[in-house]
Amino acid sequence: MAEINALVDAGDVSAGPPLGPQLGPLGVNIGEVVSEINKKTQDFEGMKIPVTVKIDDETKKFEIEVGTPPTSAMIKREAKVDKLSAHPKREKVADLFIEQCIKIAKSKMPDLNCTELKSAVKQVVASCVSSGILVEDKDPKEVLEEIDNGKYDDEIKNEKTELTEEEKEEIRKKREELQKEMKEREEEFRKKAEEIMKQLEAEEKELAEEEKLSRKEKVSRMEAEDIPYEIIVDYIPEEEEEEEGEGED
């Protein structure tokens, strides 16, 4: 029994690399294998999917096992965002309906070690907590309590995964609102960072060379104002730390 493992583009596998060259020497019908993989992965179109092809050496019959993307990748796809939040407590990047969480949970069931869909849905919602994703326009922690209290039992029991056109439009508007809020918040942080830099420059003018503030001290001043590190490094590059280290020898 030959076995081939590959990471493929879901729903868009061809007879070329990475599978074609590996399947060719095994005498299996490559077209049939490719067609079957595309059929089994079409629900994940646009994503990378791990697949395993097992081929009987004598009969050339094959079996295909399809994995699933990480829960975070599926959340990103449903939320239609390029990246999840690096600061989930203060930065929300999208909002999902419970139906979308059910959809992800159904796909991930084999990997979540769950025997009940309700438990799988809870795991997906829990992942939203650390991703900066709202669920039903609420903190995911609140939704977890609602699931325990049976609020979404009907949706889960009926495996409801489709959204109405109104719900889709609501998601689009909410995403635009959140993106606008994020941009405004970033502008506020940058304005605050510029003010702090001016204060630091003024302070350093009064200090002797040996008393100059270290990069660590400058960064701490920024962090005390909750300014995200990715913004801090725009004003206090990490190269400064290297230069300080070189001067200590």
Q: Where are the domains of the chain?
A: 2-66, 71-163, 181-241
Report how far residue 142's alpha carbon sits from residue 113's, in angstroms, rounded to the nearest whole number. 23
| Nearest in space to 44 (alpha carbons), one of 81, 19, 9, 13 | 9
Structure tokens at 166: 């109104």
Dist CA 70 CA 65 (whole Å): 16
Residues whose CB is less than 8 angstroms from the CB of residue 167 and which lie 6 or more positions away in sequence, other chains included: 97, 99
Does position 241 have pLDDT exceeding 70, yes or no?
no
Q: Tally Cβ neighbours within 10 Å of residue 241.
A: 14
Q: What is the mean pLDDT of residues 108-117?
A: 86
Question: What is the residue-averaged pLDDT of the chain?
Answer: 87
Please give the backbone phi and psi of residue 104, each rounded to the nearest 5 degrees, phi first. Answer: -65, -45
R_g of the chain computed on alpha carbons? 25
CATH architecture entry for 71-163: Orthogonal Bundle (1.10)
Vertex 33, ends 29 and 35: CA angle to 5°? 115
Which CATH class name applies to 2-66?
alpha beta
pLDDT at 207: 76
Q: Is 80 exceeded by the pLDDT of residue 245?
A: no
Calculate the CA 190 to chain-centre distance. Answer: 25
Most confident listed range (64-73, 95-104, 111-120, 157-166): 95-104
Q: What is the pLDDT of residues 115-159, one digit of tens each?
A: 899 999 999 999 999 999 999 999 999 999 999 999 999 999 999
Cα–Cα distances (Å) from 80 to 93, 157, 160, 226, 233, in that order, read 10, 26, 20, 27, 28
Q: What percent of the chain has pLDDT over 70?
A: 95
| Spatial contact of 84 and 164, defined as CB atoms under 8 Å apart | no
**pLDDT tens track for 35-74:** 999 998 887 888 888 899 999 888 889 999 988 888 998 9
β-pair partners for 54: 3, 63
DSSP 8-state assignment for residue 86: S
